[in-house]
Structure 1
């Protein structure tokens, strides 16, 4: 098999901790180019992975023989750079949220269709082993219908792990567009859509900045979500869970409760109504401090090798984006908002 030649655009924390090492781990994959406006960062990663370094992504896209790129940039740059990459003939794995508007996300999808290049969004929650197992359990029908749920994703904030630290692009609205709700809330939005197997149609939300200083984006969001078949639940995203990261989800069903990533030992627990408890340990869950293989890069490479449309497609990314945009509108207007 011919090696798949990869470029990574953006050499910040997500590229260093996830994309680059996961590409390097894959057989038949060659990291040939990296780009970052910070020349030192680009050269550091290029030296580490035996790649060429660029400070302009447009020059990287002209690199001969490049098959695909990861777009690991601030949110406001996802759409223009992804579209440019597809128009240059490259498959694209783009970090989440995929764009900052429905129009931008739609343009990315259109570019994929026009160029015939694959577009995948980095929603790794649905690939986590506990969540894969949970989907299997829910689809089996053993728990009956899901009635309600609660899901949360919170940590101490991106300054604790991003390469830029306090004051970095995560905290600048012109680059990030949205704070904790876009960083973490969109992950859980995508997960809930995946687990329920249906769309979120209405959102009520409080989105605000409760503690972070010198920023114009949110650090906390609490949402009420309603699905197309009437399932209701809550979603919380936070950059102020400082003592301990929370990545848990609980689904309350007709025949029992499904608990995900609540327990340190057993990350999938079923509590049946009859008192029976079933415990599963489904591998280790990635945290900001302890990264594990996310499955995103492996899945992207599989789709390139087999020329198949990604399950976490641009269309899926757009559906999750629409929910967080509705949450922002709800917070701004003080009303329940119907998802477009």
Structure 2
């Protein structure tokens, strides 16, 4: 695809769609929303008016009828698979919010639909667009800290959810679990990105410290082993803000270590060499939209496709299985 601007159908007009819309506004010369679907007619109408787009209440009708090149899926978790498969079968490229889908069977169906129809799918893993993450990946691939032994990631905050405002996230059937498959998806894909291998086994301790009206956990600690020998430790929670000394991510290797609070990055080597990098903040979801546009225009691979989306899902499902059975569980292989 070389023509611009790319025409997108926005599927789901709820909360996260607002952040995506900022991205389309920032990169209007490359990509824009021309159709919007939401099951709530008022939401669809409001978003369509906001964007100068056509409103639909059924995403299948949008995919079939709208003049679009791609879709941006911002639906509740349990609806992702159906929208991905419908879009892929219609030859539309796909940007999909996390999680990619919810089960091994859904993952296989997604992979088959994308592969058989030759479309590009980008997993909307926005934290990969943090400058500190990009620099860390560069240093790790350059061998700055040598062979990597351990990666740690953290994404925790005090969440003010209550039974009146949590909506579909309170139900394991529609969310896919609890906090781990929601906010916990972020430190999972970040760990995958930094570890540089494929996940092979995982286990977890799940807790419900505070949000007891949820069906799923509000906190999780996860251990993951990768095929290159890296071991990952992930902490994530809606129950609490972590201690101020807690890193956003870190890696330890044979020559030293690196760590980041998300805005700066420092590496320290056993040789005594050390360097700190400070970064200007980046609005990561608009950056993600710009990357999606560039990938479609230039026919290049997104940072994370359905491959990585399925690997992250596999990490989380194995963690859930390990927690349930008090075991170390194998990661889904599709």
Q: Structure 1's 295 and 106: CA in aligned 2 closer, same or farther, altered over 3 A?
A: farther
Length, aligned pairs only? 328
Contact preservation (8 Å) 2:192, 2:198: yes
In the superposition, the TM-score normalised over structure 2's length comes to: 0.91
1:269 and 1:279 in contact (8 A); partners too: yes
- Please report the RMSD computed on the Cα atoms of aligned residues, expressed in angstroms: 2.3
Secondary structure at the residue paired with 1:84?
helix
Where do 5+ consecutive residues of structure 1 fail to align? 286-290
Residue of structure 2 equivalent to 1:288: none
What are the residue-to-residue correspondences of 1:65-80 with 2, within 5 Å? 65-80=67-82
How far did residue 149 of structure 1 move? Answer: 2.7
Whether 1:176 aligns to 2:178 is no
The within-5 A match list for 1:1-340 is: 1-17=3-19, 19-26=20-27, 27-157=29-159, 159=161, 166-242=165-241, 248-261=248-261, 267-284=264-281, 291-340=283-332
CA deviations 1:49-94 (Å, max 9, x no partner) are 1112222112222333211111111111100111112222311111
- Deviation at 1:276? 4.0
Aligned equivalents of 2:160, 2:49: Cα separation in 1:
26
1:186, distance to aligned residue in structure 2 (A)? 2.3
Give the gaps of 5 or more residues in structure 2.
none
Q: Give the deviation of 1:306 after TM superposition.
A: 2.3
Question: What is the deviation of 1:176?
Answer: 0.6
TM-score (norm 1): 0.89
Aligned partners of 2:204 and 2:323 also within 8 Å = yes
User: Partners of 1:28 and 1:333 in 2: how far apart?
Assistant: 48
Per-residue CA deviations over 1:20-77 (Å, capped at 9, x if unaligned) read: 1102221132311111112222222212111122221122223332111111111111
